[in-house]
Amino acid sequence: MVKQGVVSAALLLISLWPTLSRAEWGKPLGGTYDGPEGKPRIVTPSPVELGADERATMSVFEQATKSVVFIANTAIQRDPWSLNLFEAPQGSGSGFVWNKQGHIVTNFHVVYGANSITVTLADRTEHKATLIGADPDHDVAVLQIRVPEERLPPLSVGTSHDLRVGQKVLAIGNPFGLDHTLTTGVVSALGRTIKSLSNRTIEGVIQTDAAINPGNSGGPLLDSAGRLIGVNTQIVSPSGAFAGIGFAVPVDTVNRIVPELIKHNGCDGAPQSQ
């Protein structure tokens, strides 16, 4: 009896095969098949409406990237075989436009030991930079490039003394000169201390969980309104990759140091580059 039922089911399926192959076989349930020659009609779903927070973040990124630059640091080396001198890449990082006079702010460790510094703007043009001055104790350096003012949109400068833990932050950089990157997070802690390249203590440092990787050093840390609140400078990681702890020199410190470096056009002990 069971065998007879199986045979009957098989015969029924065979009898239905032409109908299924012509009309229904392979069609997903609920599919739309009113296109030309019975082919599926592609229905494009309406775009999902983005939230206000997403739109605000996108707007800040689009505006701020115009001010963020890539910095390449090269040093003079001697070929041991020919004794000829040549420039070799020594390091790189990010920076940002401070004013329309062509001053660029970055970390001191990004340009340390440089014989030549090149700044690449958002429009991908490259410009030789002069090291105007540096404060190694706070890991801050100021460069200058000669570019028409209309091509130098400075960042809006905020404050850091009124920051609060949990406040949203955005870290923007131009690592390796490929393109601008954005990471977001919050202020994880305030009043941290870190060691500078000169082994001096930097006070009042901002800690954030916004991902900061090596190529982002010297780039800006912004608040949700796009105002500069810090300069990304260090990470804590045993492997060299971001592990959730990044540090930024507070903008109140930067805003005190940078005008002095520009005013005095250099500082004692800082390497000079032409």
- Would you please indicate which residues are annotated as catalytic (active-site) residues? 109, 139, 217
**C-alpha distances out from residue 261 to 17, 129, 135, 141, 264, Å:** 84, 15, 8, 8, 5
Which are the contacts of 189, defined by CB distance < 8 A and separation ≥ 6?
165, 206, 207
Taking phi first (over 0 means left), then psi (-120 to 50 degrees means alpha), and beta for anything else, what does residue 177 get? left
CA distance 115 to 74: 6
Residue 72 pairs in a beta bridge with: 92, 118
